[in-house]
Each structure stands twice: as structure tokens, then as C-alpha cells.
Structure 1
Amino acid sequence: MTEHHETPQPDTKDWTWVLERACPGCGTDATSMAPGEVAVAIRSALPRWGAALSRPDARVRPRPAVWSTLEYGAHVRDVFRVFHHRLDLMLTREDPEFPNWDQDATAVENRYADQDPRTVATQLAASGRGLADAFDSVLGRDLERPGRRSDGSGFTVVTLARYAWHDVAHHLHDVHA
């Protein structure tokens, strides 16, 4: 079991600005990526996540209030799952409102820090491949289909893909992978 430290402060920032400009924190520029390019990027990131989660210190937090590589990996696994569901909603419903996802509450409720890094790596890879395959299957006519978060932030299939990729890439940067 992992020694628990203080709970990281919830991330309350609105990250949708990454759809308009490169992220100065991680260097990712997803502003012109198509869903197919996001699919390629996701697939190329999966071995990096696997390597990071196999490190002996994957469970160790760099600072008490900063997630460990394991916690970030569990989060990214769930990012893949949540965004896959959101994409499915956008492709099957007219302008759906996405169910709210409190990522910080999910981390606590699902005990990210206590999960097995090998299991998380396997699940992350499977979920990542699933989302990549879903982005690859988007038809041109569906690229501008809308959907929105419960906070009102609107997305198209294209911007959802870009937003998802930034999240994954940013957390690769966070874990130095």
C-alpha cells in the first residue's frame, strides 16, 4: 500500500485555452491536429506510459501534494475512457451535455494511489487504443458535431480530440516520460 500524503489541490483551471494556443507548461501544440493525428499521437504515447508505470518509484509522489506517476497513469486511463464516452455521445446524439466528471473525486474514490501499476499500465494501453481507434473511425461529415460539458464549454469532435491529446501529453510531461 502507498503511504498517503495530503490530497492535491483540485485543478479548477479552465484548460480550454489549449485549443487556441500551445501549452507553455508542456510544450504541446494541439491547435491544428485532426482526430486521426490525435489517434497516432495517443498510440505513440502508450509505450511511454508503460515505461513510466514500470519504474520502481511509480508509486512515489515527488511532493506530498503532487500525484505520483501511478496516480497520473490511473487518471490518464480514465481520461481515455471518459473521452471515448463523450465522443460516442457526440456521434450518436444531437449536441449532448456530457455527464460531469470530477477527476479529483474520482482519484480519491477509486484510490488511484493504491492501484497496481502493472494493471493500470495494461488498462491505460487498452483504453488508449480504444480511444485512438474511435478517433480514427470518425467520418469527415461528423468532425464538427457538437457536445458540451456541464460547465457550458462547447466542443466539436475535432476540438474534443485536441483537448484529449493535450491532457495526455501534459501528464506525460508531468511524469517526465
Structure 2
Amino acid sequence: MTTEQTPQTEPGAIEPDTKDWTWVLDRPCPECGFTAAAVDTGALAAALRDNADYWTAALADPRAEQRPSPTVWSPTEYACHVRDVHLVFVGRLERMLTEDDPVFANWDQDETALADRYDLQRAAEVAPALAAAAARAAAVYESVAGDAWERPGRRSNGSAFTVATLGRYHLHDVVHHRWDTQWMMEG
């Protein structure tokens, strides 16, 4: 935490992300370059683990808790989000594998960031939690076989997924946030 940011003060306002990112399943992401169609389902688990390795290294950097500007998350805040993405998606994945066409409750990522005070979390604590969440998600994806990749599930807004497309969507989210924080690892 910086001297300007104490438990009593609110973090700088972050513009909420209101985009529906499901389009990344149909075309490459122009920002991070991710191409969902190029991801083999058999590679999802390894890709999630590799991504978690990036975060472990990034969170060891002394700048990890610093925002590059007041309205942009620090790498630690992004890592909190990535950790929670893994937890939300593994929950959805497990439901898809055990229920018939489940409907997922809405997850407000911006509300979670504020409620859980991502801005006050410590990189040294977030790193192992993110790695554990990624490992859990990877293990469940590794357990999927055959026709189970086609099992359906839906978000509360009606967006439909199969286990395969949910995995690719999940992977894009964490890859994109790696791209969001690449400045720190390059600079």
C-alpha cells in the first residue's frame, strides 16, 4: 500500500468494464492478440498454469502494488481479479460438468474489486492464492473428456457456452490481464 492509499481511503476510481467480451470466441482480440479458435482444449490446463507462473513472477516485482496511474489497477489488483476469475470459472465449469445447462448468476467484477479492496491486498499473499486457484481450474479442465467438452451452460444475460468455449473465454480473460500488466515486466 502506498502512503497515499490507506485502509481508510478509497482507491482512485477505475472505469467499470461493461463490455460483453464473448465476441473473443469469434474473432481475435485486437488488444492482446488472443485467438480463441487457435486454442486446443487439451492445452487449456497447461496454458492456465503457465499464466499463473507469469503472475508469480510479476507479483515478486517491487512495483507490483503500484498503480501506473490513479485510474489503472496495479498488477496486484489485476492479479486479485485473475485469482477470482479462476475461482468463478472453476465453479461454473464444475456446474456445467454436473448439471444440465446451468444458468450462472451474474458476477460483478468491479463490485468485487471494491468490496474485497483489491487496492489493499498484498502481492505476497495474492501470488500463492492465484497459483492455487489456477491449479484447481487446470485440474478440472484436465478431467474433461470426450463429449463433456460440449456440455452447455449460460450466463444470466443469456450468453451460451460449452465447456470448450467457457475454457477459451476463461483463458482469454487471464491472458488479457497479463497483457494489461506487461509494462511492468518489460520496463
Coarse TM-score class (shorter-chain normalised): over 0.9
Q: CA RMSD in A?
A: 1.1
Could you state the TM-score of these two structures normalised by the residue count of structure 2?
A: 0.91
Q: C-alpha separation between the residues in 2 aligned to 1:84 and 1:66? A: 27
Q: Is residue 2:121 matched to residue 1:122?
A: no
Displacement of 1:47: 1.5
> Identity of paired residues, percent?
52
Displacement of 1:144: 0.8
Equivalent residue for 2:113, pick from 85, 107, 126 = 107
Displacement of 1:40: 1.1
Q: Is residue 2:169 matched to residue 1:159?
A: no
Q: C-alpha separation between the residues in 2 aligned to 1:157 and 1:28? A: 18
Cross-structure match for 1:147 = 153
Displacement of 1:9: 1.0
Letter in 2 for 1:22: P
Letter in 2 for 1:51: A
Could you state the TM-score of these two structures normalised by the residue count of structure 1?
A: 0.96
Q: Is residue 2:65 matched to residue 1:24?
A: no
Tell me, yes or no, if the aligned pair for 1:146 and 1:156 is still in contact at 8 Å: yes
Tell me, yes or no, if the aligned pair for 1:35 and 1:138 is still in contact at 8 Å: no
SS in structure 2 at match of 1:31? helix
Displacement of 1:101: 0.6
SS in structure 2 at match of 1:123? helix
Cross-structure match for 1:36 = 42
* Alignment deviations for residues 62-117 of structure 1 (CA, whole Å, 9 cap, x no partner): 11111110000000000000000000110111110012110000000001111111
Equivalent residue for 1:90, pick from 79, 89, 96 = 96
SS in structure 2 at match of 1:23? coil
Equivalent residue for 1:51, pick from 33, 39, 57 = 57
Structure 1 unaligned regions, length at least 5: none
Q: C-alpha separation between the residues in 2 aligned to 1:150 and 1:160? A: 14
SS in structure 1 at match of 2:161? strand
* Alignment deviations for residues 109-135 of structure 1 (CA, whole Å, 9 cap, x no partner): 001111111110000000001101110
Tell me, yes or no, if the aligned pair for 1:38 and 1:132 is still in contact at 8 Å: yes
Q: Work out which of the two has the higher radius of gyration on C-alpha atoms and give 1 or 2.
A: 2
SS in structure 2 at match of 1:11? coil
Letter in 2 for 1:86: R
Tell me, yes or no, if the aligned pair for 1:77 and 1:124 is still in contact at 8 Å: yes
Cross-structure match for 1:132 = 138
